[in-house]
Structure 1
Amino acid sequence: MQPFNTQFTLSREYLAECFDQSLPHGKGARPNYLFPLLLFSAGAGLLTFTEQPRVASYLLIALAILELLHIRFRRAWWLARQMWGKGAGGEVKLTVDDDGIRTQSAHTQTALSWPDIERVIETELGLILVAKSGGRQYLSKSLFPADLVPGIIARANGEA
């Protein structure tokens, strides 16, 4: 494989693309409404059927509402946390070669060798590299020339 080097900025747009493309393939693809429902039910049950102080009841209901807000605004909250991080707005150097895929920024360095990649999930706008250790890394297709994307997929699947 011919070595390929590029640089990109961890901008809000890139991070939003990461979230939007990775969400359907992650653990939290479908929100879990059962937990806030159970919290609300427990709070309402304590209010209705006990003579205990109402602080615990109100606390459970408030936690249910907070969990629903977390579900509703998870994209915005995730983006805000990423933008508050020290890597936000920084330049990232990406290298693809015979050894694997490496990213390097001012604060982090990651290296994912080809044998460590379990599979590649191709999305509409990018690639999700799933490591055998369970970690995931998203890379936008806009970073690569069109002919390199099939090569990365083939190499990661052990075909090249």
Structure 2
Amino acid sequence: MQPFSTQFTLSREYLAECFDQSLPHGKGAKPNYLFPVLLFAAGAGLLLFIEQSKVAGYMLIALAVLELLHIRFRRAWWLTRQMWGKGAGAEVKLTIDEDGIQTQNAYAQTALIWSDIERVIETDLGLILVAKSGSRQYLSKSLFPADLVNEIIVKANGQAGTNS
């Protein structure tokens, strides 16, 4: 594999692409509505069947509403948290070579060697590298020439196949 190096900015657009492409393949792909429904039911039950102070019932209903808002606005909230981070807007240097994939900016440096990659999930716009530790790293296909995307997939899957 020929060494490849590029730079990109952790912009809002890049982070939005990261969220949108990673969400269907993550643990929270389908929102869990059971929790807010149970909170609401418990709060309503306390309001209806307890003659004492109604504060606990109202608190549970408020928590249910808050959880529903969290589910509804999770993309916006995730993007806001990322944009508040010190890495937002920073230039990231991406290097791919025989050893693996390295990213580096002024605040963080990561290295993912080929043998640590369990699998690669190809999405419409990028690649999700799944490490054996369970961590995931998203890389946009727009950063690479088309032939390099295929090389990354073959190299990562080849390493995963020899170590399994």
Pairing 1:88-103 to 2, within 5 Å after superposition:
88-103=88-103
* Identical counterparts, % of pairs: 82
1:150 aligns with 2:150: yes
1:126 aligns with 2:126: yes
Report the CA distance between 1:58 and its aligned residue. 0.3
1:6 aligns with 2:17: no
Aligned to 1:55: 55
TM-score (norm 2): 0.96
Structure 1 unpaired stretches of 5+? none
For the residues of structure 1 that align with 2:59 and 2:129, how far apart are their CA atoms?
41
User: Deviations along 1:111-158, whole A, 9 cap, x unmatched?
Assistant: 000000000000000000000000000000000001100000000011
Alignment partner of 1:150: what SS?
helix
Structure 2 residue identity aligned to 1:89: G
Q: Which is further off, 122-131 or 44-53?
A: 44-53
Pairing 1:8-157 to 2, within 5 Å after superposition:
8-157=8-157
Between Structure 1 and Structure 2, the one with more helix by share is 2
CA RMSD of aligned residues (A): 1.0
Over 4 Å off, 4+ runs: none
TM-score (norm 1): 0.99
Report the CA distance between 1:52 and its aligned residue. 1.9
